[in-house]
Chain A
Amino acid sequence: GAGVSQSPSNKVTEKGKDVELRCDPISGHTALYWYRQSLGQGLEFLIYFQGNSAPDKSGLPSDRFSAERTGGSVSTLTIQRTQQEDSAVYLCASSLGGQGAVNYGYTFGSGTRLTVV
């Protein structure tokens, strides 16, 4: 597609439920990133996928968080047993891999605003 598409744009869930957030990157972008944006705390790196390499999961805050990327394209971020502190905007970005990310930067989606009540 023309841009990075994220769905849903808003999600309200009850504490303890599981949620899935979807990201559809720009066609041809081999790198995909998930960030979490909490109020007043900037962007927190969660996970990075590059081609067929093992993902960099170093930013995932707990084992309740997981992500996968099927076929090198669409990615799903799953949060199990959601907690109120999980409430945030979850941003997905894609880029040409490696040096391409540096040369051209990331392209971000509009995010999914997650509210855990």
Chain B
Amino acid sequence: AQSVTQLGSHVSVSEGALVLLRCNYSSSVPPYLFWYVQYPNQGLQLLLKYTSAATLVKGINGFEAEFKKSETSFHLTKPSAHMSDAAEYFCAVSSNTGNQFYFGTGTSLTVIP
């Protein structure tokens, strides 16, 4: 069985501060892990993905995530938050068949000016 847990349904950071959004996964097979971002009234957009290559993955808009097998984590970070980063962020896990992605419940990021 595969699942992801996102700790913290709401995160607030000041503009320019570090962004850290947490994701832990549960998978019986080597996982493929993803972060998606959803801006208001839009669909989900792929931020970055881990597919068993480099454990530190860089994505769009300055975001990156590190796969840590020992901690079963795939936390999303950005060194300096921008107002435009305010959105909902979803972590997801998939098997290598890609038949189904399992999404977390999402974390709403607020950036305070």
Chain A residues close to B by CB (< 8 Å): 4, 31, 33, 35, 40-43, 45, 48, 50, 56, 91, 93, 95, 97-111
Query: Known pairs A43-B44, A100-B98, A102-B96. 8 more at Cβ < 8 A?
Result: A40-B9, A45-B101, A91-B43, A98-B98, A99-B97, A103-B51, A105-B46, A105-B49
Interface residues in B75-111 (C-beta closer than 8 Å to A)? 90, 94, 96-106
Q: Are A99 and B100 within 8 A (Cβ)?
A: no
Query: Are B97 and A98 neighbours in the complex by a CB distance under 8 Å?
Result: yes
The 4 closest A-B pairs by CB, nearest first: A101-B98, A108-B43, A42-B105, A43-B103
Chain B residues with Cβ under 8 A from A111's Cβ?
43
> What 0/1 pattern do residues 40 to 82 of B give for CB contact below 8 A with A?
0111111001010000000000000000000000000000000
Say yes or no: A110 contacts B96, CB within 8 Å: no
Nearest-neighbour CB distance to chain A for B53, whole angstroms, equals 11
A112 to chain B, nearest CB (A): 11
Tell me if B105 and A95 are in contact (CB < 8 A). Answer: no
A47 to B35, CA, bound (A): 21
Q: Does B34 contact A (CB under 8 A)?
A: yes
Among the listed B41, B98, B105, which residue makes an inter-chain contact with A102, where contact means beta carbons less than 8 Å apart? B98
